[in-house]
Amino acid sequence: MSTLVKPGTRYKSTVCDTEVIIVKPSSGPIDLRCGGQPVVEVGAEVPAGLTLDPAFSGGTPLGKRFADPESGLELLATKGGAGSLSIGEVPLPLKDAKPLPSSD
């Protein structure tokens, strides 16, 4: 399922409690997943029978930003869960914190 994501759109996992909000959109359609399964928009019906893929069960911590430098996608975890975020089969890395300016 490839979707063109828009800033402010909220998505939830179909296999755990994870919820995210899009901070920066991707440059094109992407296959956003959590726990190895496609995500759905918050408020949409969750398909039955999906299970958490053990390969994508590292968890998503609340309040952390994730970014994909290749597509430009950036999102924020608004609710943590057991599944790991990915674009297709590629894990979505945590965004590095910006260093604070020195106060000489």
pLDDT for position 97:
73
CA distance 75 to 55: 21
Residues 83-94 have pLDDT tens digits of 999 999 999 999
Residues 3-47 have pLDDT tens digits of 778 899 999 999 999 999 999 999 889 999 999 999 999 999 999
∠ CA 25-28-33, rounded to 5°: 70
Judge whether residue 1 has pLDDT over 60. no
| CA of residue 73 relative to chain centroid, distance | 9
Amino acid letter, residue 103: S
Whether the CB-CB separation of 83 and 52 falls below 8 Å is answered with: yes
Q: Parse the chain into domains and list their residue ranges.
A: 10-91
pLDDT for position 101:
80
Judge whether residue 59 has pLDDT over 90. yes
At a CB cut-off of 8 Å and minimum separation 6, what does 6 contact?
22, 25
